[in-house]
Amino acid sequence: MASKRQAVKPTKKQPESETMLETLKTLTEAWGPSGYEHGVRAIIRRMVEPYADEITVDPLGNMICRVGKGGKKIMVAAHMDEIGLMVTFAEKKTGYLRFSPIGGLVNTALLGSRVRFEDGTLGTLAMPEYFGAARTAAPALDQYYVDVSTGEGEPTIEPGMPAVFDRTMEQRGSRVIAKAMDDRVGCVVAVEAMRRLKKRVQNEVYFVFTVQEEVGLRGARPAAYSVDPDIGIALDVTPAGDMINVEKNEVRLGGGAAIKIHDTGLVVPPAIRDWMTQTAEREAIPYQRELISLGTTDAAGIQIARAGVPSGAISIPCRYVHTPSETVDVNDVEACIALLAALVSAPVELG
């Protein structure tokens, strides 16, 4: 049966899942590449102000929201930035712009994609002779350009201006498709956990919305140094292993929250792993184990702050990471929210 496009419409009294989807739509459609997270931060701040005991913004732009006092100091990190591009050169009188990447652009996902600049200017990613060899081979990044021509004089976009993919969020059954799921869906998990906990925690929890993760975990490190937590938890997407001809892993869409065991930047301490898995089992929250050989998260930065921080991650399974159509399952997102809320609300005794 073909599924119809589902619009997210507010109601007077919404179930939690509908509230979560509204938040996800707002954040995935927001504009905010690495180093330019100010707009996303303002949106999230409005969302979490009723639920935080204290909110500060550090010099790099990380937003640190404290909830509770006493018990373990737990830092929960979700990054606000998304991949994008930076204009490096404007071809004279053509509306064609050369660019460099902000984060890990996927060359094969670029041709024909649309990007938007902060001032609202819309551009199309293109390349010369795209009907030639480019049909069957991935062109180098320097073969692409952005077309912002208007037919009404020279465009106003100049070198030094960043852009991000331009896409609206869509639903297909329980699957949700958008640009910037990485990592606005992690931000949603943090926001919704704060909302549902309503400050009922028995720890000192720092929900940190970090900057510049896509260009090297640059926000998480100084934030962790400032917070000086006892435990670190990153919230981020992880590549699903249930696609055709991909490197196999056990993570699949619809399988529940992915509890990280190992990635290229983090070996999760057994005590953190067991705390997470045992909590999921006790609360009957569906979960799966995540082991990947490509990529890492803010947890890799948190773990090396000061004298070291035992750190783990709750990951949201995602298909087509770093494309304009990153895809998650609403049931996995709900499982991640439930697991995070259960972890930070109760007293923590690590084995």
Which CATH number does the domain housing residue 117 bear? 2.40.30.40
Say if 116 falls within a structural domain.
yes
Domain match, 189 and 284 both: yes
Answer whether residue 121 is part of any domain. yes
* Residue given tokens 């852009």 in the structure block: 163
Residues 126 and 91 in one domain: yes
**Do 333 and 209 belong together in one domain?**
yes
| Angle, vertex CA 32, rays to CA 45 and CA 303, nearest 5 | 75
What are φ and ψ of residue 96, in 5° steps? -100, 135
Domain housing 243: 16-82+179-345
| pLDDT of res. 11 | 39
The answer to whether position 154 is within a domain reads: yes
In a domain, 313, yes or no: yes
Show which of 131, 165, 199 is a domain's final residue: 165
Residue 6 lies in a domain: no
Q: Are residues 93 and 226 in the same domain?
A: no
User: Do residue 44 and residue 129 come from a single domain?
Assistant: no
**Judgement on whether residues 269 and 294 belong to the same structural domain of the protein:** yes
Strand ranges (E), 103-167: 114-117, 122-126, 145-147, 162-165
Please say if 250 is a catalytic residue: no
Q: Report the C-alpha dihedral over residues 327, 171, 257, 213, rounded to 10 degrees.
A: 50
In a domain, 4, yes or no: no
- The pLDDT assigned to 249 comes to 83
CA distance 186 to 310: 20
Q: Give the end of a domain, one of 140, 165, 190.
A: 165
Question: What DSSP character marks residue 323?
Answer: S
| Residue 80, pLDDT score | 98
Is there a single domain that holds both residue 310 and residue 200? yes
Amino acid (1-letter code) at residue 214: E
Sign of CA dihedral 234, 236, 242, 246: negative
Residue 328 parent element (H or E): strand 326-329
Are 323 and 215 members of one domain?
yes
Round to whole Å and give the CA distance between 79 and 161: 21
Which of 165, 187, 219 marks a domain boundary?
A: 165
Is the domain of 106 the same as that of 250?
A: no
pLDDT of residue 136: 66
In the chain, the number of structural domains is 2
Q: According to the model, what pLDDT value does residue 152 have?
A: 84
**Distance between alpha carbon 195 and the CA centroid of its chain, in Å?**
19
The residues pairing with 125 across neighbouring beta strands, listed in sequence order, are 146
Are residues 190 and 317 part of one domain? yes
Which helix (DSSP H) or strand (DSSP E) does residue 218 occupy? none
231-239 and 175-178 strand pairing: unpaired
Indicate whether 317 belongs to any domain. Answer: yes
Consecutive H or E run containing 96: strand 96-102
Look up the CATH number of the domain holding residue 54. Answer: 3.40.630.10
Same domain, 63 and 98: no
Q: What is the pLDDT along the chain (351 residues), one digit of tens a residue?
A: 333 334 444 334 556 767 999 999 999 999 999 999 999 999 999 999 999 999 999 999 999 999 999 999 999 999 999 999 999 999 888 899 999 999 999 998 999 999 999 999 999 999 887 666 666 677 889 999 999 999 887 788 999 999 999 999 999 999 999 999 999 999 999 999 999 998 899 999 999 999 999 999 999 999 999 999 999 999 999 999 888 877 778 899 999 999 999 999 999 999 999 999 999 999 999 999 999 988 999 999 999 999 999 999 999 999 999 999 999 999 999 999 999 999 999 999 887
Catalytic residue among 82, 204, 213, 334: 213
Say yes or no: 341 and 304 in one domain.
yes
184 within some domain: yes
CA atoms of 259 and 256, how far apart (whole Å): 9
Q: Is 84 exposed, middle or buried (0-12, 13-18, 19+ CB in 10 A)?
A: buried
